[in-house]
Structure 1
């Protein structure tokens, strides 16, 4: 029964994806994969973590249907691997879920079959079935039937005509191979497996620091003095830098995008170096027993001040980036600056929590990886091409129309609607009309597996236009 379920899933897999691009099929595949995982691992879905991953996976598939962007597809694939890993071990870290999910998807079937119990069952079955005899019963008759068919075709024209009428063109070898690939994938994920000893090691490591036995009061005092001196001077230097940066922002008069771009990028480079050095220094001094040293209060306060000043530096970079965007519009690189700013802010926050709550490096790695993963999922929920276009044409002081035209077709309808409300050249208008017509044609030529939200929006626009003309 279970093999029949996998076989049916494999046929549906080919029906959804063979010769098709992504769209509605990826959302239907998510439902199919969840049904299969439920069928084989019903007890695992009583776990809250597995349920949350299931909901997030379905949501990511819906976002592919709505936006059909590379980012949403990437988030969906990563969420699929994460769900499979959560079914294998829901308590593991997110990066272990990815490892277990990826390993299961690639080699789960073989992993289960090299298990000792499975090998024992297989050997018993081989002894009972007498495989050599079975091979003879199937192989030898097939060989001789083919041989005599070829001989009889030469001696009887009527028989030759009968054989010639047999047409095997309906058999699509590529489709069969694609179905076989689907069968292999579903066989792998049906019962997710664990990568050992990596999973056990991850489960055994807590997020808390533990005091070690070699506790030397004298060495800790020296280390505390070094840390206090170093962080004190670095805080003073960073404070002076921030004050001068505030003065430069207030006095800033920029007429060219290139000038502001240089200032923003220089600020980002400074931010990168500052954050990396800050975290490395803090992690070095608070890597072990200094966390439990009775006289470490000044060092901790200086660390918190250093983190706070770096947060202030982040705010200044955000102000510069927003001035850049307000003057010259949104681009993917400028959005990327905000993403980086957010992730560095999270890194500083987790470093603060590590020092405050006596956490270890595993806590930093787990929490930052988890936030990065959630950020990717959230970013995949936005049609960035449309958002960039809408902001640049309605709010930015200046914009690059050629850049907007070169974006993906996901902004084609909006560009077409706004082309007459902005001052652009006739050449750019023709380029927009060409892009719009090409996208409409693409939408109309899609198969049902490739449909996404824009197809239904197009049908709605047609309905509304028809009602107007009536």
Structure 2
């Protein structure tokens, strides 16, 4: 008897597709994972905890509590001799997860939620592959593991043994619909973010559906069933580790320092067996050195002129003239200069990528030319910071202005790592690793800030002739005490503006601004009283309720 594998091997050409063996079909389906006793205990516990913490709740202390559960589960499941316990990145993510979760309990800001989710995912990534160093690869590893773990746990569920053929068939098709429903949910989230009217319509549909289900099934809470299933998937990704080796294998090819290579671009000319030079195959190292020196010399001269103009114009005694468009000056100039700095860093990485680091006759000239260029780009970054500062001084604070400040911090750090590459022959992998950790540190710093309250305190100063009151009223509720305390400043401001539906701006009166403020306070009080549970109430919400005297 010939099996399907042999039949596939002997299938004649031109006779259509070859038959696929049952073994190949079974291998393509994710297999169920045998669970340990601790995993079987944590799965239902995590599902129930997820439903209790997040069902119809906003983000706040619930994220901190679930983060503690995730960290505790990893510490319990790890063997005592596991390599992950010796990983500094693992403990960094443990601290980052707990810290960002605590910031969610304090402020509940969007950046704290982003930092918390990213920290937990990277924590799972380092548990999966403890030898990883790049935080990006840890994040991708975690995503791959979480998706596969949820699918494998669901595939491991079995229909009731005595439910009959109809029950088993229904169970089979229900599992087959998991992937389409997941894709549908992903597109729904994208459309809800992009179209506020679609989100409002979906909310009305869900409210009507909920009322109908309560009338039809008064004893069954469909919402809790959905959150229990979602909690089971999330907990499966936390407690079930599906090894993902793709990114760890890819990272293993890289090193911290550049090694000399004689058979690649930027190497000495290679002789053929007949002792003739192969001038068409490789670029002569000396020619590349001449091109690099010429480029660094020319751009240093050009950047020196630009920096001299900026120092003379911006650094000392800059005062905007009447009618000067400071917004356009800052926005256009900042973006162009930032792009120039990133381009400069890319050029340095290109020329110092390989054997040019070992060209002894001209290496000192090349290094000093590149160092001067990096330092001049640091001066250019200072000019960008001054443009941002002048905008803040004259127009007030905004999210983008704070973002530019932290981006410049990363730019200075990145320029410092470029100097390490020039003088220590660091690889591009080393720079990406260091700068990725710096980006993560900045994300944690942003999560620790009460930025909306600080923006409101700064913008509501009597020296400003114009206030975007609509921007301040659209901020989270923790800003309301600051707005209520500065009512007189709002009333005395000559120009109050608010954004319109399609991105424009309109001028409103002081009375209209006060009416909108009263409406915002009333809406916040009503929402606070409607959701009395502690899961979504942050410390900032509690302080706001005390100030507004909410019972």
- Bucket of the pairwise TM-score, normalised by the shorter protein: 0.7 to 0.9
Q: Give, in angstroms, the shift of residue 42 of structure 1.
A: 4.7
What does the per-residue CA deviation read over 1:162-185, in whole Å, with 9 as the maximum and x for residues that have no partner?
xxxxx9742334422321221222
1:102 has 2:143 as partner: yes
- Counterparts in 2 of 1:142 and 1:80: CA distance versus 1, 3 Å: closer
Q: Give, in angstroms, the shift of residue 384 of structure 1.
A: 1.4
Structure 1 residue matching 2:284: 3-state secondary structure: helix
What does the per-residue CA deviation read over 1:364-423, in whole Å, with 9 as the maximum and x for residues that have no partner?
222222211221121121121111111122486444142323333331111111222552
Structure 1 residue matching 2:449: 3-state secondary structure: coil
TM, length-normalised to structure 1 = 0.82
1:448 has 2:518 as partner: no
Among 57, 73, 87, the residue aligned to 2:127: 87
The CA RMSD measured in Å over matched residues stands at 3.0
1:246 has 2:311 as partner: yes
TM, length-normalised to structure 2 = 0.70
Aligned to 1:162: none
Aligned to 2:164: 139
Contact 2:145 2:237 in 1 (8 A): yes
Aligned to 2:292: 227
State which drifts further: 4-13 or 306-315. Answer: 4-13
What does the per-residue CA deviation read over 1:416-455, in whole Å, with 9 as the maximum and x for residues that have no partner?
1122255242332332233223223322332222111133
Structure 1 residue matching 2:535: 3-state secondary structure: helix
- Counterparts in 2 of 1:230 and 1:458: CA distance versus 1, 3 Å: closer
Q: Distance in 1 between matches of 2:345 and 2:427?
A: 13
Contact 1:7 1:183 in 2 (8 A): yes
What does the per-residue CA deviation read over 1:308-333, in whole Å, with 9 as the maximum and x for residues that have no partner?
00100111121121111111211112
Structure 1 residue matching 2:325: 3-state secondary structure: helix
Q: Distance in 2 between matches of 1:51 and 1:58?
A: 11
In the TM superposition, 1:17-416 aligns within 5 A as 17-43=54-80, 44=82, 46-47=85-86, 48-92=88-132, 93-110=134-151, 135=161, 137-139=162-164, 169-214=218-263, 215-216=267-268, 219-249=284-314, 250=316, 252-255=318-321, 259-295=325-361, 296-394=363-461, 397-402=464-469, 403-416=471-484
Aligned to 1:420: 488
- Counterparts in 2 of 1:205 and 1:438: CA distance versus 1, 3 Å: same
Q: Distance in 2 between matches of 1:57 and 1:142?
A: 42
Structure 1 residue matching 2:460: 3-state secondary structure: helix
Contact 2:122 2:138 in 1 (8 A): yes
- Counterparts in 2 of 1:202 and 1:194: CA distance versus 1, 3 Å: farther
Q: Distance in 2 between matches of 1:226 and 1:4?
A: 65
Structure of higher RCO (CA pairs closer than 8 Å, 6+ residues apart): 1
Aligned to 1:431: 516
Structure 2 residue ranges without an equivalent (≥5): 1-36, 169-215, 270-282, 494-509
Q: Distance in 1 between matches of 2:513 and 2:224?
A: 43
Structure 1 residue ranges without an equivalent (≥5): 115-121, 123-130, 144-166
- Counterparts in 2 of 1:350 and 1:182: CA distance versus 1, 3 Å: same
Q: Distance in 1 between matches of 2:302 and 2:358?
A: 28
Q: Distance in 2 between matches of 1:372 and 1:185?
A: 26
Q: Distance in 2 between matches of 1:437 and 1:289?
A: 67
Q: Distance in 1 between matches of 2:335 and 2:98?
A: 38
- Counterparts in 2 of 1:405 and 1:178: CA distance versus 1, 3 Å: closer
What does the per-residue CA deviation read over 1:271-307, in whole Å, with 9 as the maximum and x for residues that have no partner?
1332133122212221111101112111110100000
Structure 1 residue matching 2:139: 3-state secondary structure: helix
